[in-house]
Structure 1
Amino acid sequence: MATRAMSPVLLIGGSGQVGARAARALRRLHPDLPLAIAGRDARKAAAVAAEVGGPTTSTTADVGRDDLGLDRGASFSAIVALVKDEASNAVKRALADGVPHLAFSDFVSEIGPVVAHHVARPTRAPILLLGHVLGGTATLAALHLAQDLRSVDAIAIGCVIDADDRGGPASQADFERNEQIGQAALFLQDGRWTWARGDAAARRFADAEGVERLGHALPLLDVVSLAAATDARSIRVDLAARDAAPRRAGHVTELVVEVSGRGHDGAGARLRYDIVDEDSYSGLSAYGAAIATERLLGLAGGPPVGPGLYNPESLLDPARAVARLEELGPRVRRTRGVASG
């Protein structure tokens, strides 16, 4: 697809595990899209830029600096923050420049600063909240299933990763921050918001091969996105770890999305997606970030997005997002069963 002339998309953290994969995904989707790979390590950023190819440059960037450590006068068509923007410098730069911003690393309890910056300047730029599991892919898959039901009762999302899949430094910092603040998991249970820890946050579910896994709920934005978009009374997102298979090279990530409710015939139905990616969990996260970025810029699925505060389901068509995900490589299997009750 030809890309209209524009300034580069700035990927802060673009040399990390998610960022590098997001850059490669964007290059596959849009061969002519200018990208700027930004990180604190100039050599690592340059190496990723060279690998991605096309109109890709590299630069140093640090979200801890007011000016992000960028060259004076540099312009960008969008700012994608794939690391925690603790001082809100990335969102402030996007608002000042009036360009789209993607906030990728905020837990459900951490969105206050971004929301406040939007409220202060609501007409400056589009801000997309993407602190969802695996870059919003699970939420969009759930909503695609929900379109085939007359009513939705429950949504259960399970993510299975290898026990030794630690992600990159940015991902590890997210998990460590969550542990330090002692944040409880958030889920919707029988119509009530519930914060829980330990055994109270645990759930068993079957992975893509039918193996039972023990997962624990996470405090991610999927639950509030899906609660606002559906009439479901129970919603949760759980993460489970499997022992790495000794004969398997590399990581595998499984995303299990189950939506139950009433079909258009009035009968109980349970719809399920099993999405399997032959990569670490950074892979699906990166695909979600890439699909969201192209939408913000108006490169696919509609015109460029105007100023506002958005969740992924506000901007992305679920069916198109799932199809785009399949284009990028993950295996997607859909099944239908009968819901009890």
Structure 2
Amino acid sequence: MASAPKPVLILGGSGAVGSRAVAALRRLQPELPIVIGARDIARANAVAQSAGNATALEVDLGRADLGVPAGATFSAVVTLLNDETLNSMKYAQTHGLPYVSFSDHLFEISPKVALYLQKPTSAPILFLGHALGGATTLSALHFARELRSIETLDVAVAIYDDDHGGPATNTDLERAGRVSPLLRKNGRWIWASGDDIERTVTAADGTKHRGNAFPLLDVVSLAAATDAPNVRFDIAVRSAASRPAGKRPSTEMIFEIDGVDADGKKRRVRHEVVDDEDLSTLSARGLAITVERLLGLAGGPPVPPGLYNPETILDPADVIQKLEAFGARIARDVQR
């Protein structure tokens, strides 16, 4: 008889993304127990009660043991907030637990890389500071597979200006906005400035919006996976006033790819993934898909100790199928 699975500890699981991540993970894995670690225990209890098979736990990131009761056991530690102490990662390494870092930008991962290198065989460490919990990068790689080689990979996420997410999301966006974005241009890495920061992004309805390059991990993941000499990731913000009355904020992923197909012909393609849910919900779904794979609950055995990005453990085709099951709509070879 198989033993009962140990719970996943989700730090920040009562926030805007966290509560949705709990719901998405529950949908994917109905039997997986979840512990919601938070400072606001009343709010965490409410999320736990709504999810079922979940409990709340008051945590303190200022403590090496996170304030977790002695003897508590978990299957993974998922950190949805900016842990400046790194105590959550140290706790995971000490206990040999898979660790997911959700809120780190390109310019913030060095301390965790160094900490990993001190104990490289202690636990699997996954960076997930990617747009929409890795869903954007995996979708891009799904479409990129159709070409033999990639010259340019322009990726954008379009959101509405009233899609604020929660306080943690807003803080993440503010931190990112203070740093120059990283781009790959003509085979070289540059910290973008001037005209390189902005580009025009055409939304799924044909309207044009200003896109701004953003220092998320998508750009380095995509460049490493495709070897494309030109890669950028942008966020385009649309006015809520342009949305039909009564319609909730939706999210779009837009992929424009220049490359060479299997027949040796140059092609430029555009694909779109559109979902009627908001930024926080799609980010939560991407996280849930990644966590179930990390634990070996889908797509293969548990991931061994190592340092990972989502594209190194997930199959792009599987991710696309899960996004469609959640409600995403895919438009291929679109002309705009």
Report the TM-score range of the alignment, normalised by the length of the smaller protein.
over 0.9
For 1:71 and 1:329, the matched residues in 2 are separated by 39
Unaligned runs of 5+ residues in structure 2 are: none
- 3-state SS, counterpart of residue 333 of structure 2: strand
Q: Which residue of the partner structure matches residue 56 of structure 2? A: 58
For 2:271 and 2:49, the matched residues in 1 are separated by 36
For 2:332 and 2:154, the matched residues in 1 are separated by 15
Report if the CA contact (8 A) 1:270-1:336 is conserved.
Answer: no
Report if the CA contact (8 A) 1:38-1:58 is conserved.
Answer: yes
Q: Which residue of the partner structure matches residue 254 of structure 1? A: 252
Q: Which residue of the partner structure matches residue 30 of structure 1? A: 29
Per the TM alignment, residue 111 of structure 1 is displaced from its structure 2 partner at its CA by 0.5
Report if the CA contact (8 A) 2:201-2:236 is conserved.
Answer: no
**Equivalent residue in structure 1 for 2:325, among 317, 324, 327:** 327
Say if 2:39 is the partner of 1:43.
no
Which residues in structure 2 correspond to 1:251-290 (within 5 Å)? Answer: 251-290=249-288
Report if the CA contact (8 A) 2:80-2:102 is conserved.
Answer: yes
In structure 2, give the amino acid aligned to 1:292.
T
Q: Which residue of the partner structure matches residue 211 of structure 1? A: 207
- 3-state SS, counterpart of residue 332 of structure 1: strand
Cα distance, 1:148–1:4 mapped onto 2, change above 3 Å: farther
Q: Detail structure 1 runs of 4+ shifted over 6 Å in the superposition.
A: none
Cα distance, 1:323–1:217 mapped onto 2, change above 3 Å: same
Q: Which residue of the partner structure matches residue 167 of structure 1? A: 165
In structure 1, give the amino acid aligned to 2:165.
G
Higher mean C-alpha displacement, 57-66 vs 259-268: 57-66
Per the TM alignment, residue 176 of structure 1 is displaced from its structure 2 partner at its CA by 2.4
In structure 2, give the amino acid aligned to 1:158.
A
**Equivalent residue in structure 2 for 1:228, among 216, 224, 230:** 224
- 3-state SS, counterpart of residue 304 of structure 1: coil
For 1:248 and 1:154, the matched residues in 2 are separated by 38
Higher mean C-alpha displacement, 168-177 vs 87-96: 168-177
Report if the CA contact (8 A) 2:7-2:74 is conserved.
Answer: yes
- 3-state SS, counterpart of residue 152 of structure 1: strand
Per the TM alignment, residue 295 of structure 1 is displaced from its structure 2 partner at its CA by 0.5
Report if the CA contact (8 A) 1:145-1:272 is conserved.
Answer: no
For 1:256 and 1:34, the matched residues in 2 are separated by 35
For 1:151 and 1:310, the matched residues in 2 are separated by 24
Q: Which residue of the partner structure matches residue 195 of structure 1? A: 191
Higher mean C-alpha displacement, 237-246 vs 197-206: 197-206
Cα distance, 1:248–1:234 mapped onto 2, change above 3 Å: farther
Report if the CA contact (8 A) 1:297-1:303 is conserved.
Answer: yes
Q: Which residue of the partner structure matches residue 6 of structure 2? A: 7
For 1:49 and 1:299, the matched residues in 2 are separated by 21
Higher mean C-alpha displacement, 122-131 vs 237-246: 237-246
Which residues in structure 2 correspond to 1:113-128 (within 5 Å)? Answer: 113-128=111-126
- 3-state SS, counterpart of residue 63 of structure 1: coil
In structure 2, give the amino acid aligned to 1:223.
V
Report if the CA contact (8 A) 2:8-2:74 is conserved.
Answer: yes
- 3-state SS, counterpart of residue 106 of structure 2: coil
Cα distance, 1:39–1:273 mapped onto 2, change above 3 Å: farther
For 1:7 and 1:101, the matched residues in 2 are separated by 14
Per the TM alignment, residue 199 of structure 1 is displaced from its structure 2 partner at its CA by 4.2
Per the TM alignment, residue 188 of structure 1 is displaced from its structure 2 partner at its CA by 0.7
For 2:246 and 2:330, the matched residues in 1 are separated by 20
For 2:113 and 2:332, the matched residues in 1 are separated by 35
Report if the CA contact (8 A) 2:176-2:214 is conserved.
Answer: no
For 2:150 and 2:122, the matched residues in 1 are separated by 36
Per the TM alignment, residue 72 of structure 1 is displaced from its structure 2 partner at its CA by 2.4
Q: Which residue of the partner structure matches residue 289 of structure 2? A: 291
For 1:248 and 1:206, the matched residues in 2 are separated by 23
In structure 1, give the amino acid aligned to 2:39.
R
Higher mean C-alpha displacement, 101-110 vs 329-338: 329-338
Q: Which residue of the partner structure matches residue 150 of structure 2? A: 152
In structure 2, give the amino acid aligned to 1:139.
T
TM-score, L = length of structure 1:
0.94
- 3-state SS, counterpart of residue 100 of structure 2: strand
Report if the CA contact (8 A) 2:271-2:334 is conserved.
Answer: no
In structure 2, give the amino acid aligned to 1:250.
R
Per the TM alignment, residue 331 of structure 1 is displaced from its structure 2 partner at its CA by 1.9
Per the TM alignment, residue 173 of structure 1 is displaced from its structure 2 partner at its CA by 1.4
Per the TM alignment, residue 28 of structure 1 is displaced from its structure 2 partner at its CA by 0.6
The percentage of aligned residue pairs carrying the same residue is: 50
Alignment: residue pair count: 333
For 1:169 and 1:70, the matched residues in 2 are separated by 24
Per the TM alignment, residue 6 of structure 1 is displaced from its structure 2 partner at its CA by 1.7
Per the TM alignment, residue 116 of structure 1 is displaced from its structure 2 partner at its CA by 1.1
Per-residue CA deviation, residues 131-185 of structure 1 (Å, 9 max, x unaligned), is 1111111111111111111111111111111112111111111122234xx3101
Per-residue CA deviation, residues 95-127 of structure 1 (Å, 9 max, x unaligned), is 011010000111111111111111011111100
In structure 1, give the amino acid aligned to 2:204.
A
For 1:146 and 1:4, the matched residues in 2 are separated by 41
TM-score, L = length of structure 2:
0.95
* RMSD of aligned alpha carbons: 1.7
